[in-house]
Structure 1
């Protein structure tokens, strides 16, 4: 097994375990067993648990950016691209293994005692806000809309995780549609968000 293969096995196992059980609940022995990598090699690859958590968050960030970008870019116009964020969330919330936002989970468990983890979470969230800000700019709306849409998306993630109800995404999308149309000076059209897919 090469060093890169060992690293991938560790990150794969850590990603599954942390997301399912939480960051603090998973020890190095369990990670060793799940990854099939010796404890010696595990520590040689990642000297501390924080290093593993950061590697998992880096992977999650890449997956999030790739997934949401693909979903948004498939839409025909700026308004639809803004609303596509919430269709992306709807698909994610319906996944069998949905356990909320890995970044919010990490911050809740480790943010106050692990500064590097807190920084990674803040960087991810700032990146998402920047992404939405660019979409808002493309739509010709006020920059204030970006923060409003981000709050809706973040709140939807937390609410869906706690309630177990994927319909939260549809409610967030309806609220986003109201905000977007107001920002763009468009008349409200009932049922538009529900019919668009």
Structure 2
């Protein structure tokens, strides 16, 4: 039986390595060394790097959803609440350790070769879209499904721009576009 705290430790270490260095350069041997666990034990917990990467993405999904949820949860006005995820992005893009969207990076590096990773990425992206749709509905937007989808495109577009070009203002631009989408939908 593998203790939960050891599994959590390995996922945290691997997540940091994957986020900082990318998926391909980080080997299971490197994770073993950084986590301080025997390679055999590492493979008992995660029989493949893809399974470990998927666990890291699940962890990031929980962290991101929680952080965005806290951000919007502190806002009373439904329209401001709907723009809250863009404010979250703006703060995140300006953090010293920002290396971009871990989901886009993982998908870009392993793509369709790792269906479990694709599923983790899609789960995260669909959950974000569902949250934006739910917030749009609560704000009284006429077609909350369409607006939620449009806001998800703006959200992910801002992440792509910040990730690939280093434009820390991408979230501010996306927020302004989101305001225009909302104005049309209210």
Query: TM above 0.5, one fold?
Result: yes
- Residues 42-83 of structure 1 show CA distances to partners (whole Å, capped at 9, x for unaligned) of 111111111111110110010011000110111111100111
Secondary structure (helix, strand or coil) at the match of 1:37 reads coil
Show the counterpart of 1:43: 43
Structure 1 position 65 matched with structure 2 position 65: yes
Structure 1 position 131 matched with structure 2 position 138: no
Show the counterpart of 1:192: none
Show the counterpart of 1:172: 174
Cα distance in 1 between the residues matched to 2:181 and 2:172: 14
In the superposition, the TM-score normalised over structure 2's length comes to 0.94
Residue 165 of structure 1: how far off its partner (Å): 2.1
Query: What's the C-alpha RMSD, in Å, of the aligned pairs?
Result: 1.1
Which of the numbers 180, 183, 186 marks the counterpart of 2:185?
183
Secondary structure (helix, strand or coil) at the match of 1:111 reads helix
Q: Contact (CA 8 Å) 1:82, 1:132: kept in 2 or not?
A: yes
What are structure 1's unaligned runs of at least 5 residues? 185-197
Cα distance in 1 between the residues matched to 2:38 and 2:89: 37
1:1-197 correspondence to structure 2 within 5 Å: 3-141=3-141, 142-143=143-144, 144-184=146-186
Residue 3 of structure 1: how far off its partner (Å): 2.2
Q: Contact (CA 8 Å) 2:81, 2:135: kept in 1 or not?
A: yes
In the superposition, the TM-score normalised over structure 1's length comes to 0.89
Cα distance in 2 between the residues matched to 1:108 and 1:6: 29
Q: Contact (CA 8 Å) 2:51, 2:116: kept in 1 or not?
A: no
Q: Contact (CA 8 Å) 2:107, 2:118: kept in 1 or not?
A: yes
Cα distance in 2 between the residues matched to 1:133 and 1:183: 12
The structure with the larger Rg is 1
Cα distance in 2 between the residues matched to 1:80 and 1:5: 38
